[in-house]
């Protein structure tokens, strides 16, 4: 495949440039990507170096003239000059040309504008129209989902400064001041001037000492700002260093930032900050406002911009945190930034390729049944989905003879594994790992899909970016060449069999899984499933410990649900199963009981569902994990554990290396490690405490955060956290904590009810 040609708007910005791989480090498995250079500005309008200019790629006439030169448009920023009508023209033109639109939502509120109504109106056009949405932080993703009901992929901001500028910071000379910088620049509409500088200067004065002096430094473009700012700077010229800005290249910017120790972001509103990322790249501690999504960008501290007294107090606390923080290790940061950039490049490349070159991998677990496999491959030949965009991967579960695939219009790849019981889950993983398509469909070898099956399943996975399941119908299929029927019409010559009523009832009760809940994993069957590859890889694929039929699809669906994936039943994506459902096949009652017991014993340890298993037993993966930041003394830990274990299916996770008292050392519910991915609820406690109600009652009240000087507690719905759903924060102790257990070491004799 040739490189994906991306019209990035704008391509010359550091953010867009750093979405491409570091030179020489492109991942061999990721599609290649090239950015078109920004169009030349007409000579008579040529701006000064570094000055923004409206991108011609936003104009329908330019798009039509240059349509053959690009495959998709990735819009970042620089569209605030558009009217709503022109934005619609831009979107409509891309639709007419068949060019996908990718949008990264950088600014939910525009820092250049006081009145946000025009910006919001533009987002109301662009966000719903985008074929792919990215944003930089979970906070922004939550806002996007809440306003437009669109899921945005969160990919963190790449580095801003060149990687070769990540060098050791110059050592501060003895007695040299700690330099606190504020970048006012051109003083945008969102920039706080004197309202920030006055309380900041007071905080600097309070923290400055003879042995550790501090100095406030302000960057400002010539002529920027109002008279009030100019007068204030003149009045405090002896205490505030003012640097007049001119255009500078990346190296000069890096050198200037290295002269600072702390950078305070002066934003009254906004969403994200590239300046914060540049400062962090330079080894500068960042103090960010507590609004917008700035707190998600790893600042050293945050402050609250309010009235002068509140602002001063919060700035003093934030500056103190920076002074106490260790220096930023720029070598480690550089290595981290390189890894981040590689991930960003791969993820963008995969999403781009999925838009311009839709591809699907069909994975078939198989053992010995050549007749069924031939019928399935014949059915795949009759798909409306283009054969050249489909690759079939056969996971051979140890068959004595390899499968015969014949000549096919699509590529067929066989991955063989040794026979060690029924290992369909492992066979699926092995086959799926050989592919790269963004959509993975699983079809059991005894299935025969109708002609639109792959097309419908592909579209559903692309829409949901989650886990989808087709409609499995049952029949005794004729022993003749397969001819795909229409819709859910039975195949010619087939003997219809009953379909599982429990599945149909489950789909009806959940609006085809659109209203799925934590128990809807039971309605996902891997015989006719599809999943977004990124989700499949994120959750680790199928659980390979299964050695018999049944359960691996429920277990996969449960983990996908916990990870935040949407579920969907694609009713029109029909595939026919050879023979009756497993539960309807003839077998003795004792045999059936033994088989179902084996299935239950295989899945119960892996799916923390209180309705699936008995809570009185101890399970490896608990329904609720309680995680302690600090274990406290033995008595506090024992009292905490006793109150927790009054409830069932709970695990207590203590910090690694914690010496456990004898009462807890042999208890399998107390652990020093925790494997995330299956447990649906977490309770985070900053220290041990005694609970006054049951754990089920705590989680029934929903996800919340509690902040108190004696205890910080977070009740986390893990799925909601993956979906960036905000938790309500309560100032105070949780109502389910015994306050006495925080004031002093618990008296175990009193706590456990002994009376004289």
pLDDT per residue as tens digits for the range 104-159? 999 999 999 999 999 999 999 999 999 999 999 999 998 998 899 888 999 999 99
Report the mean per-residue pLDDT for the chain. 92
Q: Could you write out the DSSP letters of every residue in 410-431? A: SEEEEEE---SS--HHHHHHHH
- Please determine, for residue 249, whether its predicted confidence score (pLDDT) is greater than 50: yes
CA distance 214 to 193: 20
Q: Could you write out the DSSP letters of every residue in 7-21? A: EEETSSSHHHHTTSP
Does residue 293 contact residue 283 with C-beta atoms inside 8 Å?
A: no
Looking at residue 644, what is its pLDDT? 96
Token representation of residue 95: 């639709």
Does residue 130 contact residue 101 with C-beta atoms inside 8 Å?
A: yes
- Please determine, for residue 726, whether its predicted confidence score (pLDDT) is greater than 90: no
Looking at residue 588, what is its pLDDT? 59
Options 3.40.50.2000, 3.40.50.1100, 3.30.420.40, 3.20.20.70; CATH of 170-326: 3.40.50.2000
161-170, 475-484, 706-715: which has the highest mean pLDDT? 706-715
Looking at residue 583, what is its pLDDT? 60
Domain ranges of the chain: 4-154, 170-326, 359-584, 624-751
Half-sphere exposure of 667 (CA within 13 A, CB side): 18
User: Residue 496: in which H helix or E strand, if any?
Assistant: strand 495-496
Average pLDDT over residues 386-397: 96
Residues ≥6 apart with Cβ < 8 Å to 545: 602, 606
Looking at residue 289, what is its pLDDT? 95
Which residue(s) pair with 712 in the sheet?
707
Report angle CA 129, 133, 134 to the nearest 5 degrees.
150
Specify burial of residue 712 (Cβ count, 10 A radius: 0-12, 13-18, 19+). Answer: middle
Does residue 393 contact residue 413 with C-beta atoms inside 8 Å?
A: yes
Average pLDDT over residues 705-730: 90
Specify burial of residue 728 (Cβ count, 10 A radius: 0-12, 13-18, 19+). Answer: exposed
Average pLDDT over residues 210-234: 91
Token representation of residue 494: 């087939």
Residues ≥6 apart with Cβ < 8 Å to 291: 269, 270, 305
Give the percent of the chain with pLDDT over 70: 96
Q: What is the CA radius of gyration of the chain?
A: 30
- Tokens 């496999």, residue located: 373
List pLDDT tens digits, range 637-682: 999 999 999 999 999 999 999 999 999 999 999 999 999 999 999 9
Phi/psi of residue 748, each to 5°? -60, -35
Q: Could you write out the DSSP letters of every residue in 67-106? A: GGG-SEEEE-S--TT--HHHHHHHHHHHHHHT--EEEEE-
Q: At what angle do helices 330-356 and 274-281 cross, to 10 degrees?
A: 140
- Give the SS3 label for residue 423: coil
Looking at residue 27, what is its pLDDT? 62
Average pLDDT over residues 230-250: 89
CA distance 478 to 459: 30
Average pLDDT over residues 484-498: 86
Q: Could you write out the DSSP letters of every residue in 386-403? A: -GGGEEEEEEE-S-SSPP
Which residue(s) pair with 364 in the sheet?
394
Could you tell me the pLDDT band of residue 755, with boundaries at 50, 70 and 90? very low
Which residue(s) pair with 3 in the sheet?
none
Average pLDDT over residues 14-27: 84
Looking at residue 49, what is its pLDDT? 56
- Please determine, for residue 374, whether its predicted confidence score (pLDDT) is greater than 60: yes
CATH superfamily, with its number, for domain 359-584:
Spore Coat Polysaccharide Biosynthesis Protein SpsA; Chain A (3.90.550.10)
Domains 4-154 and 170-326 in one fold: yes
- Please determine, for residue 248, whether its predicted confidence score (pLDDT) is greater than 90: no
3-state secondary structure string across 320-379: HHHHHCCCCCHHHHHHHHHHHHHHHHHHHHHHHHHHHCCCEEEEEEECCCHHHHHHHHHH
Total-model pTM: 0.79
- Please determine, for residue 37, whether its predicted confidence score (pLDDT) is greater than 60: yes
CA distance 709 to 658: 24
- Give the SS3 label for residue 456: helix
36-45, 326-335, 493-502, 564-573: which has the highest mean pLDDT? 564-573
List pLDDT tens digits, range 172-218: 777 789 999 999 988 899 999 999 999 999 999 999 998 899 999 99
Q: Measuring CA to CA, which residue among 560, 695, 564, 686 is closest to residue 625?
A: 695
Average pLDDT over residues 302-316: 94
- Please determine, for residue 756, whether its predicted confidence score (pLDDT) is greater than 50: no
- Please determine, for residue 4, whether its predicted confidence score (pLDDT) is greater than 70: yes
> In this predicted structure, which of 243-257, 381-395, 405-419, 498-512 has the lowest mean pLDDT?
243-257
Give the percent of the chain with pLDDT over 90: 76
Q: Measuring CA to CA, which residue among 550, 552, 479, 560 is closest to residue 513?
A: 560
Architecture of domain 4-154: 3-Layer(aba) Sandwich (3.40)
List pLDDT tens digits, range 58-102: 999 999 999 999 999 999 999 999 999 999 999 999 999 999 999
Looking at residue 40, what is its pLDDT? 82
From first CA to last CA, the distance across the chain in angstroms is 82
Mark 410-423 as b/e (b = at least 16 C-beta within 10 Å).
bebebbbbeeeebb
User: Residue 640: in which H helix or E strand, if any?
Assistant: helix 634-644
User: Residue 452: in which H helix or E strand, if any?
Assistant: none
């Amino acid at each position: 495949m040739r490189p994906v040609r991306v019209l990035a708007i704008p391509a010359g910005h550091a953010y867009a440039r750093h979405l491409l791989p570091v030179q020489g480090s492109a991942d061999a498995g990721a599609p290649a990507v090239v950015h078109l250079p920004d169009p030349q500005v007409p000579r008579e309008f040529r701006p000064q170096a570094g000055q923004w200019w409206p991108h011609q790629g936003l104009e329908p006439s330019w798009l039509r003239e240059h349509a053959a030169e690009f495959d998709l448009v990735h819009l970042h920023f620089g569209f605030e000059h558009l009217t709503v009508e022109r934005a619609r023209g831009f979107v409509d033109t891309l639709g007419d040309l068949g060019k996908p639109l990718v949008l990264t939502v950088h600014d939910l509120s525009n820092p250049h504008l006081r009145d946000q109504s025009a910006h919001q109106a533009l987002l109301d056009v662009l966000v719903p129209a985008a074929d792919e949405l990215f944003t930089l932080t979970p906070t922004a993703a939550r806002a996007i989902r809440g306003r437009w009901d669109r899921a945005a992929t969160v990919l963190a901001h790449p580095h801003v400064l060149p990687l070769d500028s990540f060098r050791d910071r110059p050592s501060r000379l003895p007695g040299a001041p700690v330099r606190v910088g504020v970048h006012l620049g051109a003083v945008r509409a969102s920039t706080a001037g004197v309202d920030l500088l006055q309380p900041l200067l007071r905080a600097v004065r309070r923290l400055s000492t003879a042995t550790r002096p501090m100095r406030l430094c302000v960057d400002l473009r010539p002529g920027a700002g109002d008279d009030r700012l100019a007068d204030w700077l003149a009045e405090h010229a002896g205490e505030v260093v003012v640097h007049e800005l001119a255009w500078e290249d990346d190296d000069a910017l890096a050198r200037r930032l290295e002269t600072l120790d702390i950078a305070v972001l002066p934003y009254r509103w906004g969403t994200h900050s590239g300046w914060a990322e540049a400062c962090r790249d330079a080894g500068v501690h960042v103090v960010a406002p507590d609004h917008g999504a700035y707190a998600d960008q790893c600042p050293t501290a945050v402050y609250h911009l309010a009235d002068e007294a509140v602002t001063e107090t919060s700035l003093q606390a934030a500056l103190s945190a920076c002074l106490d923080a260790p220096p930023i290790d720029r070598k480690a940061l550089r290595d981290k930034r390189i890894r981040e950039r590689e991930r960003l490049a791969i993820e963008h490349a995969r999403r781009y390729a999925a838009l311009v070159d839709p591809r699907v991998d069909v994975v078939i677990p198989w053992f010995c049944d050549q007749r069924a496999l031939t019928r399935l491959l014949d059915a795949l030949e009759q798909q409306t989905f283009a054969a050249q965009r489909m690759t079939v991967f056969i996971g051979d579960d140890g068959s004595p003879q390899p499968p015969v695939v014949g000549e096919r219009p699509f590529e067929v790849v066989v991955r063989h594994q040794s026979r060690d019981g029924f290992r369909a889950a492992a066979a699926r993983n092995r086959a799926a790992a050989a592919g790269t398509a963004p959509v993975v469909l699983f079809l059991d070898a005894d299935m025969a899909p109708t002609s639109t099956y792959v097309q419908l399943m592909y579209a559903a996975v692309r829409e949901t970016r989650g886990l989808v399941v087709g409609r499995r119908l049952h029949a005794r299929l004729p022993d003749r060449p397969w001819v795909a029927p229409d819709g859910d019409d039975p195949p010619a010559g087939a003997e219809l069999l009953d379909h599982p009523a429990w599945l149909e009832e489950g789909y009806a009760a959940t609006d085809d899984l659109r209203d799925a809940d934590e128990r809807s994993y039971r309605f996902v069957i891997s015989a006719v499933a599809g999943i977004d590859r990124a989700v499949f890889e994120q959750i680790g694929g199928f659980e390979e410990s299964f050695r018999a039929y049944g359960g691996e699809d429920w277990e996969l669906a449960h983990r996908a649900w916990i990870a935040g994936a949407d579920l969907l039943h694609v009713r029109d994506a029909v595939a026919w199963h050879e023979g009756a459902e497993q539960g309807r096949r003839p077998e003795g009652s004792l045999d059936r009981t033994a088989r179902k017991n084996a299935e239950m014993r295989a899945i119960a340890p892996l799916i923390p569902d209180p309705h699936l298993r008995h809570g009185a037993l101890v399970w490896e993966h608990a329904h609720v994990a309680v995680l302690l930041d600090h274990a406290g003394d033995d008595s506090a830990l024992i009292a905490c554990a006793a109150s927790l274990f009054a409830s069932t299916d709970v695990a207590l996770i203590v910090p690694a290396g914690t010496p456990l008292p004898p009462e807890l050392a042999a208890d399998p519910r107390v652990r020093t490690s925790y494997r995330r991915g299956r447990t649906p609820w977490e309770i985070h406690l900053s220290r041990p405490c005694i609970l006054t109600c049951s754990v089920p009652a705590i989680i029934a009240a929903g996800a919340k955060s509690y902040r108190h000087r004696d205890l910080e507690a977070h009740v986390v719905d893990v799925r909601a956290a993956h979906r960036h759903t905000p938790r309500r924060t309560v100032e105070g102790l949780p109502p389910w904590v015994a306050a006495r257990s925080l004031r002093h070491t618990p008296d175990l004799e009193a706590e456990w009810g002994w009376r004289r």
